[in-house]
Amino acid sequence: MIARPTADLYQILDLSYDPNEEFAPHTDELPRISIVLSGQLLETAGDKEEWASAASMVFKPGDLRHFNRFGREGARLVSVAFSEEGFRALCDPVENRSWRWWHGAEAAALSVEFLRALDRGAAPQNCLEAVIDLLAGLSPDAPGPMKRPPSWLTPLRERMQDEFQEPLPSQELAAWLDLHPVYLARVFREFEGCTVREYLRRIRLRRAIDRLASSNEPLAGLAYDCGFSDQS
C-alpha cells in the first residue's frame, strides 16, 4: 500500500514503526483517521491514554498534542490524513470530532471493509467512496436510529435502479439530494444495511445473473453492460 493523494482532499499513508519506538509529545498538523494493522501502541493525550492493537481505529484532530510509544513488535498503521479542504468537505459539520479510539468487533469490521475497498481499486473515486463510508461508520455523535425512512430514500433507490450502469459516486448523489455525503452514507446504511457501493454492486449482480440465465451473451459484454468494469 502506498500514499495516495486524491484531489488534494486527503492522503492514504502506510506507516511502520520500530519495536519500542517512542515519539515525544507532538501534533500531526492534519486531522486523520488511523487503523492499526499490526502490533501495539500506547497513545497519551493530556491525562488520558489508550492502548491499541490490530484493527483498533482512531480519529485525531490535527492540533491534538499527544505522545506515542510502540510495543515490542513495533506497529504498522494505515492513515487517512485530511487536508483542511478535505476535512471541511468530507467531515459532517454537525459532528463534534474530537480525539477518540474505537476497539473491538465494530472497529474490526469497519477496518476490514475499508481495506478491502482500497484493495478493489486504486482509482481516486474508489478511494474516495471508501473514505466516505469509513467516516459514516465512525460518526461519533450520530443521532439515534430514525423511526421512518427519510423522504429522499425512495427517489435515491429509484435512481440507482435506473442508472445502475453508471458509477454514481456518493458525492454526486449527495449533491443531487442536497445532503452531506457522509450523512447520506450513514443513513443509507441504517435503512438498507449496506453501503451505497454495495447496493449498486448487488443491483448489477442481479441484472447480470438474470441476463446470464436468459441468454448466451459473451460474459465480457454482459459484465460491461451491467456496470462492471471487468469480468469479476
pLDDT digits (tens, 9 = 90+) for 106-157: 888 888 888 888 776 556 667 888 888 888 888 755 555 567 899 999 999 9
Domain 4-110 in CATH 2.60.120.10: no
pLDDT, greater one: 99 or 218: 99
Q: Which amino acid type is present at position 27?
A: T
* Three-class secondary structure of residue 168 per DSSP: coil
Taking the CA atoms of 138, 143, 145 and 151 in sequence, report the sign of the dihedral they define. negative
State how far the Cα of 228 lies from the Cα of 232, in Å rounded to an integer.
Answer: 7
**Residue 130 backbone zone (phi > 0: left; psi -120 to 50: alpha; other: beta):** alpha
Domain coordinates in residue numbering, the chain: 4-110, 153-225
Show the beta-strand stretches assigned E in the chain: 4-6, 10-17, 22-26, 32-45, 48-52, 57-60, 66-82, 100-102
Strand pairing report for 48-52 and 32-45: antiparallel
Burial of 178: CB neighbours in 10 Å, binned 0-12, 13-18, 19+: exposed
State how far the Cα of 131 lies from the Cα of 142, in Å rounded to an integer.
Answer: 17
Predicted TM-score (pTM) of this structure: 0.76
Taking the CA atoms of 145, 148, 152 and 154 in sequence, report the sign of the dihedral they define. positive
State how far the Cα of 40 lies from the Cα of 103, in Å rounded to an integer.
Answer: 12
Domain 153-225 in CATH 1.10.443.10: no
Q: Which amino acid type is present at position 211?
A: R
pLDDT digits (tens, 9 = 90+) for 193-230: 888 988 988 888 887 766 665 666 655 554 555 555 54
User: Residue 183's closest CA among 94, 57, 59?
Assistant: 94
DSSP state of 63: T
